[in-house]
């Protein structure tokens, strides 16, 4: 595990990424458009492997509870009204006519005039600004009209004007609206994690920072649904002794640094609102470790009440240190409670609640208050059924207290003497209960991780760039090189080896252009972990050399062992020395 270089390597990485086809700004030939990036051929392999690694840890590693789905990118407006995005993803902004600065209109009023304007409409905010003569706090210029700026990308579904759709700003809503179906199709089990990978769009006001802040990007997300009454978390025991670097909000206010605690401590000291929060944070940590980020270069930052999204009651940002941007957020872990499902229940009228049967039906002794039927009929005639029902709904304890004190109860202005009341106790069988599950959401920014992956892989050796990706993530498993260009015998042999490795399922490159040193350098720069070289000895005894990208050491092995050696080297992190005898090469 390497430490990040102190030097700012951003420009070098961006340069390399463009040159070698990892990623670059989109729409370049038209001058570009901020906030959009293309992923190139090698970047695409990396990204795919990155996503697969996430799947491995979050889904496959938890296949007893977690499944994956795919839902649409565009949703009808009702979905994002229910989710709160139409309302809360919008900022009222006001522009100074003279200096052009833009302010949050509500914040400005609250600060300057000390008026609580939460929930005020645009025209109300406008009126306040006009009436109170509020001016630009910077240049004292006149303020323009209050406008909304919503970060949702808006579109129209079909040819019907007014049929508004939005591009999803997160994957979550697609999962929430389908929750009931997914949950039923999996025979109502809980806890249930529903994961999704996909593109989202956020119409950022002014995106900068290249791959770090995009208007269109890939998220890897999971909504983990569970019974809020069960305060345990399945399988967490095996991670009890794993450590987490946490900066709780209360510590942050006191300007303290993050602390390192075990998962067990984090739960016991209530740093996390629910043990499952800690569980997914550990899985997230393990993902980052596998990408090559050392634990000292990451921590979990708790967001304060005002910093959190509208749906969240606890959020941790997963921060990773980068050379250019300092600490950046690569993932968020949000406790969304029952906010989303409750909202969709309300807006759709769908029965979204989950029924959970008790292990055995619980027989409870239930006391009930009954009104003597004969008394009711005689005294209340046609109103009797109604009054009897009201009586039955009363709390028995209340009735007993009233009887003891007054000898009667009063209901809807009618006195009922204690002689007419019967209090019975009966057994009632309850086989389960209905509730709305709570949700914990770990959500990763894939493109940010891609950038982080490059930063942590980047190093320079003798003025040459080497991308030391973890071997299993590299854009190719190996490159096959004939030692000398333009020697037909070597080239034919090399192409045989190349086909053979491909047929074994490896992702292999071939290069016969330029001196051997140049080709090693090229493959190092792409981050290919292994180079197999075919030389004149190969033609005699079918052995080839296998070169390690990171040490430049070589061993000689027979071609028939190559696939097996490559497999061990890449997936079992074997040392080169374990796979064969090191050979001296002229340097």
Partner RNA sequence: GCGGCGGUAGUCUAGCCUGGAUUAGGACGCUGGCCCCCCAAGCCAGAGGUCCCGGGUUCAAAUCCCGGCCGCCGCACCA
In the complex, minimum distance from the CB of residue 492 to RNA, in angstroms, rounded to a whole number: 15
- Select from 84-92, 157-165, 184-192, 235-243 the region that touches RNA (CB under 7 A): 84-92
Closest distance to RNA from the beta carbon of 445 (Å):
10
The smaller minimum CB distance to RNA, of residues 169 and 275, is found at 169
Q: How far apart are CA 527 and CA 472, in angstroms?
A: 11
Of the candidate residues 136, 170, 191, 221, the single one contacting RNA (CB under 7 A): 170
Task: Give the residue from 221, 281, 204 showing the smallest Cα distance to 445.
Answer: 221
How far is 488 from 433, CA to CA, in rounded Å? Answer: 76
Q: Evaluate whether 409 touches 416 at the Cβ level (below 8 Å).
A: yes
Residue 81 found at the interface with RNA (CB under 7 A)? no
- From residue 50 to residue 79, the character string flagging contacts with RNA as x (rule: CB under 7 A) and all else as - is ------------------------------
Name the one range near RNA by CB under 7 A: 238-246, 358-366, 422-430, 579-587. Answer: 579-587
Are 171 and 73 in contact by the 8 Å Cβ rule? The answer is: no
- Least CB distance to RNA at residue 497 (A): 12
- To 10 degrees, what angle do helices 488-503 and 559-571 make? 50
The one segment of 82-90, 240-248, 368-376, 390-398 that binds RNA by CB under 7 A = 82-90
CB 475 within 8 A of CB 50: no
Interaction of residue 119 with RNA, rule CB under 7 A: no
The answer to whether the beta carbons of residues 133 and 142 sit under 8 Å apart is: no
In the complex, minimum distance from the CB of residue 528 to RNA, in angstroms, rounded to a whole number: 12
Assign residue 204 a region (left: φ > 0; alpha: ψ between -120 and 50; beta: otherwise): beta
> Cα separation of 439 and 171, whole Å?
14
SS3 400: helix
Find the binding residues for RNA in span 205-224 (CB under 7 A): 205-210
How many angstroms separate the CA atoms of 193 and 187, rounded?
Answer: 14
Contacts with RNA, 304-333, as mask; x by CB under 7 A: ---x-xx-------------x-------x-
Q: Given CA atoms 428, 430, 434, 438 in this order, what sign does their dihedral have?
A: positive
CA–centroid distance for 60 within its chain: 16
Q: Provide the 3-class DSSP secondary structure of residue 463.
A: coil
Shortest Å distance, C-beta 467 to RNA: 10
SS3 95: strand
What are 582's two structure tokens? Answer: 């090191």
- The region of 24-32, 40-48, 178-186, 470-478 touching RNA under the rule CB under 7 A is 24-32
* 1, 2, 7, 19: residue in contact with RNA (rule CB under 7 A): 19
* 104 touches RNA (CB under 7 A): yes
CB of 20 to RNA, least distance (A): 9
Strand partners, 243: 262
| DSSP-derived 3-state class of residue 104 | strand
Applying the rule CB under 7 A, the residues between 461 and 500 that interact with RNA are 463-465, 483-487
**Cis preceding linkage at 191, omega within 30:** yes
Considering Cα of 60, then 66, then 71, then 75, what sign does the dihedral take?
Answer: negative
Q: Which stretch binds RNA (CB under 7 A): 86-94, 245-253, 294-302, 418-426?
A: 86-94
Q: How far is the CB of 93 from RNA (least distance, A)?
A: 7
Residue from 536, 487, 533, 529 nearest 510 by CA: 533
Number of residues that bind RNA (CB under 7 A): 69
- Minimum CB separation of residue 547 from RNA in Å reads 5
Mark the segment that binds RNA (CB under 7 A) among 66-74, 200-208, 367-375, 468-476.
200-208
DSSP string, 270-308: T-SSSHHHHHHHHHHHHHHHHTT--GGGEEEEEPPTTTS
| Closer residue to RNA in complex, CB, 49/85 | 85
Binders in 256-275 for RNA, by CB under 7 A = none
Q: How far is the CB of 394 from RNA (least distance, A)?
A: 45
Q: Which stretch binds RNA (CB under 7 A): 52-60, 126-134, 277-285, 550-558?
A: 550-558
Minimal distance, residue 486 CB to RNA, in Å: 4
Measured CA to CA, the distance from residue 37 to residue 450 in angstroms comes to 12
3-state SS assignment for residue 426: strand
The answer to whether the beta carbons of residues 48 and 475 sit under 8 Å apart is: no
Could you say which of 40, 75, 169, 337 contacts RNA (CB under 7 A)? 169
Mark the segment that binds RNA (CB under 7 A) among 177-185, 369-377, 451-459, 545-553. Answer: 545-553
Binding to RNA by residue 199, rule CB under 7 A?
A: no
Question: Is 107 among the residues that bind RNA (CB under 7 A)?
Answer: yes
Query: Least distance (Å) from RNA to the CB of residue 182?
Result: 21
133: left (phi over 0), alpha (psi -120 to 50) or beta: left
Minimum distance of RNA from residue 249's CB (angstroms): 15
- Told to check if 152 binds RNA by CB under 7 A, we report yes
* Min separation Cβ 436 and RNA, Å: 21
Closest CA to 344 of 208, 568, 477, 177: 177
Q: Which residues contact 432 (CB under 8 A, 6 or more apart)?
A: 355, 356, 357, 358, 361
Which is closer to RNA, CB of 399 or CB of 449?
449
- How far is it, in rounded angstroms, from Cα 242 to Cα 278? 10
Q: Using CB under 7 A, which of 88, 97, 156, 241 touches RNA? A: 88
Binding mask 512-531 for RNA (x = CB under 7 A): -xxxxxx-xxx-xx------
Binding site for RNA (CB under 7 A): 15, 18-19, 25, 29-35, 85, 88-89, 91, 99-104, 107, 151-152, 169-170, 202, 205-210, 307, 309-310, 324, 332, 463-465, 483-487, 513-518, 520-522, 524-525, 533, 535-537, 545, 547, 552-554, 585-587
């Amino acid at each position: 595990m390497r430490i990040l270089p102190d030097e700012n390597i951003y420009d070098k990485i961006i340069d390399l990424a463009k040159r070698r086809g990892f990623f670059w700004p989109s729409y370049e030939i038209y001058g570009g458009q901020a906030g959009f990036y293309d992923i190139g051929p090698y970047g695409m392999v990396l990204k795919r492997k990155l996503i697969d690694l996430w799947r491995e840890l979050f889904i496959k590693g938890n296949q007893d509870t977690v499944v994956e789905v795919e839902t649409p990118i565009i949703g009808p407006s009702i979905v994002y009204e229910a989710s709160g995005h139409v309302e809360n993803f919008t900022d009222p902004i006001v522009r100074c006519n003279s200096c052009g600065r833009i302010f949050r209109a509500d914040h400005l009023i609250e600060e300057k005039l000390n008026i609580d304007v939460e929930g005020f409409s645009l025209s109300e905010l406008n009126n306040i600004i006009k009436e109170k003569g509020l001016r630009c706090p910077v240049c004292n210029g006149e303020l323009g009209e209050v406008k909304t700026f919503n970060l949702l990308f808006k579109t129209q579904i079909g040819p019907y004007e007014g049929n508004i759709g939005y591009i999803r700003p997160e994957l979550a809503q697609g999962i929430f609206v389908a929750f009931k179906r997914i949950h039923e199709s999996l025979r109502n089990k809980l806890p249930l994690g529903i994961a999704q990978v996909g593109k989202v769009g956020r119409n950022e006001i002014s995106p900068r920072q290249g791959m770090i802040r995009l208007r269109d990007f890939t998220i890897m997300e999971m909504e983990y649904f569970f019974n809020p009454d069960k305060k345990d978390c399945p399988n967490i025991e095996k991670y009890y002794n794993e450590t987490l670097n946490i900066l709780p909000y209360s510590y942050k206010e006191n300007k303290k640094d993050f602390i390192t605690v075990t998962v067990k401590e984090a739960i016991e000291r209530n740093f996390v609102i629910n043990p499952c929060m800690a569980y997914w944070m550990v899985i997230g940590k393990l993902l980052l470790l596998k990408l090559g980020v050392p634990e000292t270069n990451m921590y979990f930052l708790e967001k304060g009440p005002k910093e959190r999204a509208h749906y969240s009651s606890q959020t941790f940002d997963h921060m990773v240190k980068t050379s250019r941007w300092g600490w950046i957020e690569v993932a968020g872990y949000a406790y969304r409670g029952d906010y989303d499902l409750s909202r969709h229940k309300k807006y759709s009228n769908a029965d979204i609640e989950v029924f959970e049967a008790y292990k055995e039906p619980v027989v409870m002794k239930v006391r009930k208050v009954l009104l003597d039927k004969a008394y009711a009929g005689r005294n209340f005639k046609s109103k009797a059924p109604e009054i009897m029902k009201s009586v039955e709904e009363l709390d028995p304890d209340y009735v007993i207290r009233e009887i003891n004190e007054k000898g009667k109860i009063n209901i809807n202005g009618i006195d009922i003497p204690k002689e007419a009341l019967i209090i019975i106790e009966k057994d009632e069988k309850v086989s389960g209960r209905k509730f709305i599950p709570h949700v914990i959401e770990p959500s990763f920014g894939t493109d940010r991780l891609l950038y982080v992956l490059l930063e942590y892989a980047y190093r320079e050796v003798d003025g040459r760039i080497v991308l030391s990706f973890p071997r299993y993530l590299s854009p190719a498993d190996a490159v096959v090189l004939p030692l000398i260009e333009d020697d037909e015998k070597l080239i034919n042999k090399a192409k045989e080896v190349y086909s053979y490795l491909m047929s074994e399922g490896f992702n292999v490159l071939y290069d016969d252009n330029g001196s051997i040193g140049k080709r090693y350098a090229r493959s190092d720069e792409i981050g290919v972990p292994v180079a197999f070289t075919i030389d004149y000895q190969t033609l005699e005894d079918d052995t080839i050399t296998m070169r390690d990208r990171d040490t430049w050491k070589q061993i000689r092995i027979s071609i028939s062992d190559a696939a097996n050696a490559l497999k061990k080297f890449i997936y079992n992190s074997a040392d080169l020395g374990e796979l064969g005898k090191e050979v001296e090469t002229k340097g």
